[in-house]
Structure formats: C-alpha cells, structure tokens
Amino acid sequence: MLAIYGLITEQDVGKLFIAGVLPGILAVAMYMITITIIGAARPGFLPAGPRSSWNERVEALRDVWATLLLFAFVIGGIYGGVFTATEAAAPAPAAPSSSASCAGACHGGTFFARMLETTRITAAVFTVLIGAILFGYFLTVTQTPQKVTEFLTGLGLGATACSR
C-alpha cells in the first residue's frame, strides 16, 4: 500500500517504508493489548485453539524463514543502496518463486494457477491505481478543489459557522 501511495503522490517509497515502521509496530502492539484485554475480560468470547508446546511453536517458525529472508532481501537492498524501490520489484517476485520451486511446492498446474491469481490481483490493483491517477488529473483540469474552496469562502459564514 505504501508503494502505491508513493506512486500516486510521487513520494520516495523508501522514506515511506521507514516512516511506516513505528506506526506498524505500534498498531501490532495495540492489537495484542486489545486481544489480551478482551480475552481476560470475556474468557469464552475468543476462539480457543489447541495447546502447543514450545518445541512445536519453534518448529512452526521454520515455515516463515522464506518470508523473512525475502523481507530482509528487499528492504535491505533498498536501504543498503543495492537497488531502488522500483528496481526491487524485479527480484522480489523471483525469490519466492525460486524458493517454492526448490521446496517442490510449484509444479504443473499449481504454478499456472498461482501465476493466474497473481495476474488477476495485479490487474485489480493497477485498475484502481489508474483510476486514481485519472481522477486526480480530472480534478486538476477542472479545478474542482479551487472552485469548491472559492464557493465556501464566498458564503461569508466565518470561522464559527464552519465548526458547528
């Protein structure tokens, strides 16, 4: 979402990623606190899963290594100066594809189905992006924000009328 926002607003995507780290950590912490409070206040309200031992929990983290490696590769490459955020778009999809191929998860029809779903999602995102850019161009050409501002200030209502 930050990359799309950066493209629409012509902002530096790398700076947006850095700016999003603290709010992201804060949001995760607040979600954890909220869920803990709800779980303590209403014990039967949240769904209960099967209990897992610490060994099972550590073993489950092994499934996440590819995602963490991809994150470190892309973000580390951007901030390490190896490539720009735009250039990171090339190796980013290649890394999970190659790791899935090595793990034997992508074969035959599965690979085609995943590529088709990726194409559909990308087309949907770009449709929204193109619509936003065209709408912004339309607003610029028609000077709609300036005309609305002129209309509202021309009413002569004053600052107190707008706050009600």
What is the distance between the alpha carbons of residues 50 and 158, in angstroms, rounded to a whole number?
62
Contact assessment for residue 73 and residue 88, using Cβ atoms and an 8 Å cutoff: no
With cut-offs at 50, 70 and 90, classify the pLDDT of residue 11.
confident
pLDDT recorded at residue 38: 92
Domain ranges of the chain: 108-154
For residue 79, give every residue at least 6 positions away whose Cβ sits within 8 Å of its Cβ, in sequence order, or none.
14, 18
pLDDT of residue 36 exceeding 90, the answer is yes
128 or 94, higher pLDDT: 128
Mean per-residue pLDDT, 5-11: 79
Total-model pTM: 0.47
10 or 37, higher pLDDT: 37
Q: Write out the DSSP string of 47-115.
A: PPPPP--HHHHHHHGGGGHHHHHHHHHHHHHHHTTSS-TTGGGTHHHHHHHHHHHHHT---THHHHHHH
At 53-111, the pLDDT tens digits run: 999 888 888 878 777 888 888 888 888 888 877 777 777 677 666 666 666 666 667 77
